[in-house]
Structure 1
């Protein structure tokens, strides 16, 4: 029964199966994110003397110093002895697996992500919850696809579905979840994957709203631009925050290389020491720091405190993640951007009190600019701010600030997107050209030629005549139960018509034979191209294990077939996805 279900998802109607699986992925991802959030909240309620979530400000000094140190030590001991790839977590891990493993995410890394992120956030490490949420959401889609034995192009879409649902469930932002998955995770926009990702994001948002309510996360930050005369100042603000984004990325690169030869537990414990010492001066930098953003909305933070929060959050969050704490960086970019924007708002108001908008307005614009420039995701940042604040009036100034912050960070300082920078730091090459994108979207199962026959190398002429009655296109030649060559069926027909002996050697008759190599039914055309090149063959035969020790051959794939899929017009290639 399970085998029949798996064959339906491999060969069945592509759109129907993906839409249903997208909803299921959104459900699984949102439930895991809700579990993570509740686990962290109830953990702090039990752990903190006050019994209040994120109440770091009211902890005694030895709690403030000791909690992150103990948390860092626990995380280090938990992950010590593992290979680097076994410790990989977060958004970078998801992109890495999409790049190198077609979206197959190990469940063990997801478990470590859940436990590690929970310990980090409970004990006050200056990281975000959203990065781990993306990993857990993507892993839920990947594991569902693996259970159903889906081809790799479908795995990639379900990974994006899980990522979108995770962002949507974390922030209550369905549009931003979709854009984030396309812009940051998949790094492409394509209608074939857009619709299932929308379904997953909507599902995640619905489950989140049922659990936590419908209120926008930063609804109290809603504010409008008072005058168009502020536009030049918003441009200047974009330039300044672009510089901050560059500092953020370079700081992360610095801490990623720091103490690299030291034991892993020592690095994570050192991150806890940094957070604990900084928490003595400003407890707001501990944890996700969203309470500080609430303070900005009520104009309760002085300029000096804003600047200190901005700098400490920038360096502590990059130190924690760079030194190995399995937390996220999306939330910290929002806090740094909000602090920087609010500080610039205060400075602007001191010079032009009659023209300047409120501090909360500049905080929102700062969040837009910082997230957009750091992640190289302008649309995701803009949509996130629109949904987080419920204020459409931030779109125009937000667009302007994002453009100039991105220009400074990416064009002037030549910084890559945050997650791609980390990916390349690990020595991984990232390719996302149009041909690669197209081939990754098409599964081998939908492109292979199925009109073929399998014949032994030595065969009787009568058996060859009988086999040709089915009018095959190809003949796959086997020797010692292993395919050794592929030839056109027409060449066999010509040989049969002139053969005078009763026995034939298919490797000796005149024919255009091609060397072959095996490839899995689950792979994409991108992997097929890599297999052709790495094994120096001219054709592939497509197989799948249907039972232990039983392998079935499903089709034939030639280089000409693959090339036809990225040379044909767009409308034709969509049919094969």
Structure 2
């Protein structure tokens, strides 16, 4: 059955290659990816909101509000349960880091189950109150659509990567009804080096997804009413940007701390219980933390400045301005903790939406405090919008995405200058402390990130020594008679042999030219053993060494080839500069072709 399917696909590919140019075919596939990703985005939003509506409105029980302490834990538990029993053969990962890893190290291969598993787990996690966003899951789902469509059709790495980017752009466009932001996101995060031909498929994919998603989900995310911005407020936008830049540094460090805490907990259900109870308590005290949290930002944009505190157990004190300020500030920090706890405990989601919420709340409280102090009168809505763009740009290291996304979803194009100023400054502050974003740092630390600033180091880090070890060199035992192995040595066409003992431990090397010389002049050549000719290798390579260290050892010894051993001194083969340079050139060409 499988063979017949492959043959059928092969016939289709041969036919379309004869009738349609490759570029036109990729444009058609980009539209297909846009349609499917748009449907996926609509499905994810609808499913999530139906779960939220059922828990908050449709289900009636006089004690149900006590269960809000447990709802987030239930959502995370169901997510973990689904992953355990329905995704057995593949690894399930959340966030954008696995997607970046797939592009840089897995030939843009994104597992097919992500198409639906990201939707199911994210809807359950967020619908039950998990304090994360839906954007990272829909980006992964859209990218999986593009990746698997390209693989099924037998496309090249370059073409599959383009479809992965189309899927990501379509996911953002469908989720936010923001095609421009989708395109910018794909270019800024996934395709740092791109050419104009790539822009056309991205454009069509994002636009198609936005149209398809809008057919099923027409509600606009935010409504912004503004008369524009004033020049005398620019100083305050700069101060806001500095505050958000510092907060983004805190969030990045908190991310590693919370991840480290949950990483030490080995049992998955222990993580669920600890994380679920922590999250439930936070949501109970700070209702804004429930789910994505967009409702609170909507209320603030409408002028309801008590929205953060009104639904909490502290609502009776909403007339005390100092308490409103304090409660909002604490909510901002608790939002960061709640998001990271949700993800650390096993829930699915991303930091996209939380970044917007935290930035929006910082913008609100900053303008609110300035207005109360009487120093100036700022447009609170403008600062909420600017805060959202700045936080997203700084935390994700994607300033253009932050600017265009917020401008699109709020209709705030008139605020483009404040958006640019706040986002650029906050990003610069974060970048001064954190070279990599929360998505790329783990990959950069492992040398698994495509870097366009230092291509040499990036390419070397991509290479794995185990794939460069050559095992077709003659291997002699210390007691082997040389004349009995001469035929094998000659036919190998190698200029060096490895020598081991009976247990396979590496003892040294023999140069073939010395073997020939000795066999010509030695009268006792019939009794000549490998132990007579063996000599110590200039240096040895451990099979776990990285390629930079390998090349350093070769340079130190002025050697073109060195033996490879494992931690037990067992001989594994040889590695040569020729093999390293050939692989280096192949990977460099692949990078240059990466959306080139």
TM-score, structure 1 as length reference: 0.72
Greater gyration radius: 2
Q: Distance in 1 between matches of 2:584 and 2:48?
A: 54
Q: Distance in 2 between matches of 1:238 and 1:8?
A: 55
Q: Distance in 2 between matches of 1:13 and 1:250?
A: 49
Q: Distance in 1 between matches of 2:370 and 2:15?
A: 62
Gaps of 5+ in 2: 1-7, 307-323, 460-491, 494-560, 562-573
Q: Distance in 1 between matches of 2:70 and 2:583?
A: 61
Query: In the TM superposition, what is the alpha-carbon distance from 1:538 to its structure 2 partner?
Result: 7.0
Shift of the 90–564 alpha-carbon distance from structure 1 to 2, 3 Å rule, reads closer
Residue of structure 2 in register with 1:423 after alignment = 443
Task: Name which of 340, 344, 359 aligns with 1:337.
Answer: 359
CA deviations 1:35-57 (Å, max 9, x no partner) are 12222222333x426229xx9xx
Task: Name which of 430, 433, 451 aligns with 1:409.
Answer: 430
Moved over 3 A (4+): 7-12, 58-61, 77-85, 109-112, 422-425, 434-437, 533-539, 558-567
Q: Distance in 2 between matches of 1:400 and 1:181?
A: 22
Task: Name which of 57, 63, 66 aligns with 1:50.
Answer: 57
Asked if residue 38 in structure 1 is aligned to residue 46 in structure 2, the reply is yes
Residue of structure 2 in register with 1:495 after alignment = none
More displaced stretch, 140-149 vs 157-166: 140-149
Shift of the 232–109 alpha-carbon distance from structure 1 to 2, 3 Å rule, reads same
Query: In the TM superposition, what is the alpha-carbon distance from 1:4 to its structure 2 partner?
Result: 2.7
Q: Distance in 2 between matches of 1:566 and 1:105?
A: 19
TM-score, structure 2 as length reference: 0.69
Query: In the TM superposition, what is the alpha-carbon distance from 1:180 to its structure 2 partner?
Result: 0.3
Equivalent pair of 1:169/1:208 in contact (CA under 8 Å): yes
Number of residue pairs matched? 455
Q: Distance in 1 between matches of 2:200 and 2:440?
A: 26
Task: Name which of 250, 266, 272 aligns with 1:268.
Answer: 272
CA deviations 1:136-169 (Å, max 9, x no partner) are 0101111111211111111100000000000000
Equivalent pair of 1:243/1:409 in contact (CA under 8 Å): yes
Asked if residue 233 in structure 1 is aligned to residue 240 in structure 2, the reply is no
Residue of structure 2 in register with 1:395 after alignment = 416
CA deviations 1:179-201 (Å, max 9, x no partner) are 00110122333223221111100
Equivalent pair of 2:37/2:209 in contact (CA under 8 Å): yes
Query: In the TM superposition, what is the alpha-carbon distance from 1:170 to its structure 2 partner?
Result: 0.3
Equivalences for residues 490-501 of structure 1 within 5 A:
none
Q: Distance in 2 between matches of 1:188 and 1:560?
A: 19
Residue of structure 1 in register with 2:200 after alignment = 195
Shift of the 83–404 alpha-carbon distance from structure 1 to 2, 3 Å rule, reads farther
Equivalent pair of 2:114/2:140 in contact (CA under 8 Å): no
Task: Name which of 1, 9, 28 aligns with 1:2.
Answer: 9
CA deviations 1:19-43 (Å, max 9, x no partner) are 1110001111111121122222223
Q: Distance in 2 between matches of 1:105 and 1:92?
A: 12
Equivalent pair of 1:126/1:317 in contact (CA under 8 Å): yes
Shift of the 85–565 alpha-carbon distance from structure 1 to 2, 3 Å rule, reads closer
Residue of structure 2 in register with 1:432 after alignment = 451
Equivalent pair of 1:103/1:152 in contact (CA under 8 Å): yes
Q: Distance in 1 between matches of 2:72 and 2:585?
A: 56
